[in-house]
């Protein structure tokens, strides 16, 4: 059974039934939440690693200039980039820009958080083109399918340091499972069948074309 290490910028509720589908197929280890650098440094590149990142949790003072915000996130970004370029097992980054969108704030200008979010995404996607073991998931796109009102939970955020509801965690878990399933169990591209007595009745090499039998649901070509 493949081993997977999960770490997030927030508490992931280890042992919650939301992770059950993953645990049926993989051996899961939850690394200390908020310690993304530790997970990157202490997990072998030969092991599968999954990081779930809410970017706003890494950048506390968003009023700072854009360059200063980039400088603050650069050490972590460099660790991720180094692992992404050399990983030998799946390395997944699931990233979200923000918990809530302020309509008034976004009307006049693009927030620095959004600029950094797309800068990071573009950098990561360049790496995915070079290493097939590196995957980037835009969680905001996944969340948009059910609506942010169903994704976030203020009670979890204040009591358990987790901004997500059960539905939000389920989307995260299912996103991880879909990618790993495709990685470890790629879709079949070739279908091989025994033709004689399978696609038609009879052995064409012995009875010839005229000797084979087609059932009602089979159509002559």
Does the pLDDT at position 51 exceed 90?
yes
Residue 59: predicted pLDDT: 85
CATH 3.40.50.1110 residue ranges of the chain are 3-184
d(CA 98, CA 4): 26
Residue 102: predicted pLDDT: 59
Q: How confident is the model at residue 46 (pLDDT cuts 50, 70, 90)?
A: confident
Number of neighbours of residue 13 by Cβ within 10 angstroms: 18
**pLDDT tens-place string over residues 163-202:** 999 999 999 999 999 999 998 887 666 667 677 677 667 7
In this structure, the chain runs to a length of 221
Residue 185: predicted pLDDT: 80
- 131 phi and psi, to 5 degrees? -135, 115
Say which CATH class 3-184 falls into: alpha beta
Structure tokens at 12: 């992931």
| pTM, two decimal places | 0.80
**pLDDT tens-place string over residues 94-150:** 999 876 555 555 566 778 888 888 888 998 988 888 888 999 999 999 999 998 889
Q: How many CA atoms lie within 13 A of 2 on its CB side?
A: 18
């Amino acid at each position: 059974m493949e081993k997977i290490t999960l770490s997030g910028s927030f508490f992931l509720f280890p042992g919650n039934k939301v992770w059950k589908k993953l645990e049926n197929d993989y051996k899961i280890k939850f690394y200390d939440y908020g310690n993304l650098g530790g997970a990157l440094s202490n997990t072998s590149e030969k092991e599968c690693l999954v990081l779930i990142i809410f970017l706003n949790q890494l950048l506390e003072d968003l009023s700072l200039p854009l360059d200063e915000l980039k400088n603050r996130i650069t050490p972590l970004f460099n660790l991720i980039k180094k692992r992404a370029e050399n990983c030998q097992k799946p390395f997944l980054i699931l990233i979200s820009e923000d918990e809530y969108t302020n309509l008034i704030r976004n009307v006049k200008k693009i927030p620095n958080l959004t600029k950094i979010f797309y800068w990071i995404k573009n950098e990561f996607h360049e790496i995915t083109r070079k290493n097939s073991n590196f995957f980037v998931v835009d969680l905001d796109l996944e969340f948009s399918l059910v609506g942010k009102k169903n994704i976030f939970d203020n009670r979890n955020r204040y009591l358990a340091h987790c901004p997500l509801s059960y539905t939000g965690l389920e989307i995260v878990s299912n996103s991880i499972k879909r990618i790993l399933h495709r990685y470890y169990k790629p879709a079949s591209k070739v279908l091989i069948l025994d033709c004689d007595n399978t696609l038609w009745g009879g052995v064409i090499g012995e009875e010839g074309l005229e000797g084979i039998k087609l059932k009602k649901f089979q159509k002559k070509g």
